């Protein structure tokens, strides 16, 4: 179902960077009865996505995945606030800082250039509105065509995700979970956006439906020639769909590279543990988890945020935060032990 992704070396000049995130920091700032708290959910993340590429983000719950992509689509609400960094999106041949756009420009780029499938996206459809009305509410204003044209297009687009036009006249509760998910995928891609951000689009589905939905997501993405960020904690999904994969831990990107490379040859100790925790058929070895729990992001540990749980931790790890360094072409790792900045493998 999934064709081999074309090889996209990150530094090849032919590729076009659709999204660049530079040193992005997003904090939840709260103040209850005089006590200030600052949860550093995303802390200094840099990444980029090329045209026609699926960029995967993986990591455990609470590591900042969702916060990161909410920040990328500028879907933030207080108490979440941007503390630094920039998100640059390339559309219509120009690079634009998404936080420099005014409200009107922002409305214009949404859906046409940037669409978002939020977490638990099955609840995206209003339970008291028919599916057709949801399409009209969300997408009609962005498509700039008369209503009959728009509805025609919706119908033909639903056909892409193998849904009958009759679905349009149903209420969300009349559809199965898989159908609703396909409706939201159709909704997000109806305007042929340059960029789709999908937050756990398949986590509520069983594996059979999941495979089908992922295949469709991938097909639609290929067909309308857009790029995508796909967030899920399911490494199996990444192995199948994702071109490049970023691993997040405690608000930071700890490893990034071609998906197959990261999964087959993980360099960061967290990634290694994540990958070895995957069950494989025929594998009878006892799985053991890491000790400890992910850090409290309101009070993260000094140095490398993984050091309290890391089996390889050394003195430097406790004192200083490791930078992301290239260990191979397009493979970046932030670890003092496995990828020291002075190691011979460094290409800087």
Partner 1 sequence: MLSIVRDLCRHNREFRAGALLTGFIVVFAALSFVSPYAPRDVYVVPPDLPPSLAYWFGTTSRGQDVFWQLTFAIRNTMLFGFAVALLSRLISIAIGMWSGYKGGFVDRVLMSINDTFIVIPLFPLLVLFYFVMRDNMSWPLLALAMACLGWSYDARLIRSVAMSLKSREFTQQSVFSGMRTSEIVLQEHLPYVLPIVFYTTMNNMNWSIGLEVTLSVLGFTNIDTPTIGVVIYWANQHTAMVAGIWWWIFFPVLFVVILFIGLFLLAISMNEYIDPRSRLARMGGMRG
Residue 141 to residue 147: CA distance in whole angstroms: 10
Contacts to partner 1 from residues 60-99, by CB under 8 A: 73, 75
If binding is defined by CB under 8 A, does position 110 make contact with partner 1? Answer: yes
If binding is defined by CB under 8 A, does position 128 make contact with partner 1? Answer: yes
If binding is defined by CB under 8 A, does position 174 make contact with partner 1? Answer: no
Nearer to partner 1 (CB atom), residue 27 or residue 116: 116
Could you tell me how many residues make up the chain?
Answer: 348
For the bound state, the minimum distance from the C-beta of residue 17 to partner 1, rounded and expressed in Å, comes to 24
Which one of the spans 44-52, 107-115, 162-170, 289-297 is the region binding partner 1 (CB under 8 A)?
A: 107-115
Nearer to partner 1 (CB atom), residue 44 or residue 118: 118
> How is the beta sheet containing 80-91 ordered, strand by strand?
35-50, 17-32, 80-91, 94-97
For the bound state, the minimum distance from the C-beta of residue 95 to partner 1, rounded and expressed in Å, comes to 22
Nearer to partner 1 (CB atom), residue 112 or residue 307: 112
Which residue from 257, 254, 252, 298 is spatially nearest to 273, judged by alpha carbons? 254
Which one of the spans 4-12, 56-64, 88-96, 117-125 is the region binding partner 1 (CB under 8 A)?
A: 117-125
For the bound state, the minimum distance from the C-beta of residue 138 to partner 1, rounded and expressed in Å, comes to 4
- CB neighbour class for 36 (10 Å; exposed up to 12, middle 13-18, buried from 19): exposed
Which one of the spans 91-99, 113-121, 173-181, 215-223 is the region binding partner 1 (CB under 8 A)?
A: 113-121
Residue 8 to residue 15: CA distance in whole angstroms: 7
Contacts to partner 1 from residues 295-334, by CB under 8 A: none
**How many angstroms separate the Cα of 312 from the Cα of each of 307, 322, 337?**
8, 14, 7
If binding is defined by CB under 8 A, does position 230 make contact with partner 1? Answer: no
If binding is defined by CB under 8 A, does position 141 make contact with partner 1? Answer: yes
Which one of the spans 136-144, 228-236, 304-312, 330-338 is the region binding partner 1 (CB under 8 A)?
A: 136-144
Residue 220 to residue 214: CA distance in whole angstroms: 10
Q: Are 115 and 189 in contact (CB under 8 A)?
A: yes
Interface residue with partner 1 among 15, 20, 30, 126 (CB under 8 A) is 126
64 contact partners, CB below 8 Å, separation of at least 6: 26, 41, 42, 43, 45, 248, 250, 251, 252, 297
If binding is defined by CB under 8 A, does position 137 make contact with partner 1? Answer: yes
Interface residue with partner 1 among 18, 41, 125, 161 (CB under 8 A) is 125
**Interface with partner 1 by CB under 8 A: which residues?**
73, 75, 106-107, 110-111, 116, 118-121, 123-129, 133-134, 137-139, 141-142
């Amino acid at each position: 179902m999934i064709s081999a992704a074309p090889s996209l070396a990150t530094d090849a000049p032919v590729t076009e960077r659709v999204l660049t995130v530079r040193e992005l920091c997003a904090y939840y700032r709260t103040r209850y009865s005089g006590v200030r708290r600052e949860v550093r959910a995303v802390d200094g993340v840099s990444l980029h996505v090329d045209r026609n590429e699926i960029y995967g983000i993986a990591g455990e719950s609470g590591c900042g995945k969702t916060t990161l992509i909410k920040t990328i689509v500028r879907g933030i609400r207080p108490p979440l606030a941007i503390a630094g960094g920039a998100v640059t999106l390339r559309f219509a041949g120009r690079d634009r800082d998404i936080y420099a756009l005014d409200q009107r420009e922002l409305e214009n780029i949404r859906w046409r250039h940037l669409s978002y499938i939020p977490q638990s996206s099955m609840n995206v459809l209003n339970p008291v509105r028919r599916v057709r009305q949801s399409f009209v509410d969300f997408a009609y204003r962005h498509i700039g065509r008369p209503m009959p044209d728009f509805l025609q297009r919706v119908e033909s687009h639903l056909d892409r995700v193998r849904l009958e036009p009759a679905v349009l006249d149903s209420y969300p509760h009349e559809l199965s979970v898989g159908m609703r998910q396909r409706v939201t995928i159709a909704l997000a891609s109806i305007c042929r956006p340059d960029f789709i951000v999908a937050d756990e689009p398949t986590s509520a589905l069983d594996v059979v439906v999941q495979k089908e939905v992922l295949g469709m997501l991938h097909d639609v993405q290929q067909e309308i020639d857009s790029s995508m960020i796909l967030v899920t904690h399911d490494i199996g999904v990444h192995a199948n769909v994702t071109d490049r994969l970023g691993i997040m831990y405690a608000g930071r990107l700890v490893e990034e590279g071609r998906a197959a490379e990261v999964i087959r040859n993980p360099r960061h100790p967290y990634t290694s543990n994540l990958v070895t925790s995957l069950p494989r058929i025929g594998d009878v070895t006892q799985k053991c988890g890491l000790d400890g729990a992910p850090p409290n992001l309101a009070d993260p540990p000094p140095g490398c945020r993984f050091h309290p749980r890391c089996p390889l931790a050394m003195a430097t790890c406790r004192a200083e935060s490791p930078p992301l360094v290239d260990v191979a072409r397009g493979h970046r790792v932030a670890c003092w032990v496995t990828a020291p900045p002075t190691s011979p493998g460094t290409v800087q």
